[in-house]
Amino acid sequence: MSPDDGDVNRPRRGRPVDHHIDAALVAAAHAVFAELGWRGTTVERVATRAGVSRASAYRRCESRYGLLMLMMGDIYERVPVADTGTLRGDLVALMEDVARVWRDPAHVRFLAAVVSAQHEDERLSQAYLTQFTQRRAATSVIVQRAAQRGELARPGQGDLLLDMLAGIVAQVVLLRRAPLAPDFAEQVVDALLNGFGTA
């Protein structure tokens, strides 16, 4: 440490306040979205609902696309990347948290709308896929560690495995609108690791 970086250690008033603003904006954005859909979800409307000044809101997100990134980031934060020591343990922990998010009907409607809207709105798609790519980099650590431990039959297929796990949730909840069974996480992880065939 040099004397020059003293500024870094001074209390920065902005930080903790910003975190509260983010949380208020995310909650308000979900509420506005549930009422008015994606087109009605404007930064101004969300700021008013959150009790946050427009200036503060626009500092955090300059458009509804920024709001979307805050909302997606918030969902991802609810699903921490576990480190249990085994691939099975990490994936079951991950999928239990994923299932918890997807059992919330408000989130399902939100994610269904985002999935559809990204095929009509390139900026929305970019925002969504940017968040997704960051998230995938974080979860990839699970399969990288597994590959190092020799737990993957084909180490190059870690990404396909993560896509399979994301895909089965989308298939059950978004496409089939079926509930996720209580043992969903263990069931899908074991099936994917062990395989469906007898060969």
Q: Which residues contact 74 (CB under 8 A, 6 or more apart)?
A: 22, 23, 26
Instruction: Quote the least distance from Cβ 84 to its own copies, whole Å.
Output: 15
Looking at the Cβ atoms of 1 and 199, the one nearer to its own copies is 199
Residue 59, phi-psi category: left (phi > 0), alpha (psi -120 to 50), beta (remainder)? alpha
Instruction: Quote the least distance from Cβ 46 to its own copies, whole Å.
Output: 20
The CA distances from residue 48 to 11, 41, 42, in Å, are 29, 12, 10
Instruction: Quote the least distance from Cβ 45 to its own copies, whole Å.
Output: 20
**Binding-site member from 11, 51, 150, 182 for its own copies (CB under 8 A):** 150
- The conformation of residue 171, written as its DSSP 8-state character, comes to I
- Cα separation, 10 vs 3, in Å, equals 12
Looking at the Cβ atoms of 81 and 174, the one nearer to its own copies is 174
The answer to the question of residue 23 lying near its own copies (CB under 8 A) is no
Near its own copies in 1-20, by CB under 8 A: none
- Cα separation, 199 vs 191, in Å, equals 14
Instruction: Quote the least distance from Cβ 112 to its own copies, whole Å.
Output: 4
The answer to the question of residue 130 lying near its own copies (CB under 8 A) is no
**Binding-site member from 129, 144, 179, 183 for its own copies (CB under 8 A):** 129
Coil vs helix vs strand at 49: helix
Are the C-beta atoms of 124 and 118 separated by less than 8 Å? yes
Site track for its own copies across 70-99, x = CB under 8 A: -----------------xx-----------
The CA distances from residue 100 to 35, 55, 128, 184, in Å, are 23, 34, 21, 11
The answer to the question of residue 106 lying near its own copies (CB under 8 A) is no
- Cα separation, 113 vs 123, in Å, equals 15
Coil vs helix vs strand at 61: coil
The answer to the question of residue 182 lying near its own copies (CB under 8 A) is no
The answer to the question of residue 101 lying near its own copies (CB under 8 A) is no
Binding site for its own copies (CB under 8 A): 87-88, 108-109, 112-113, 115-120, 125, 129, 132, 150-154, 157, 160-161, 163-164, 166-172, 174-177, 187-188, 191-199
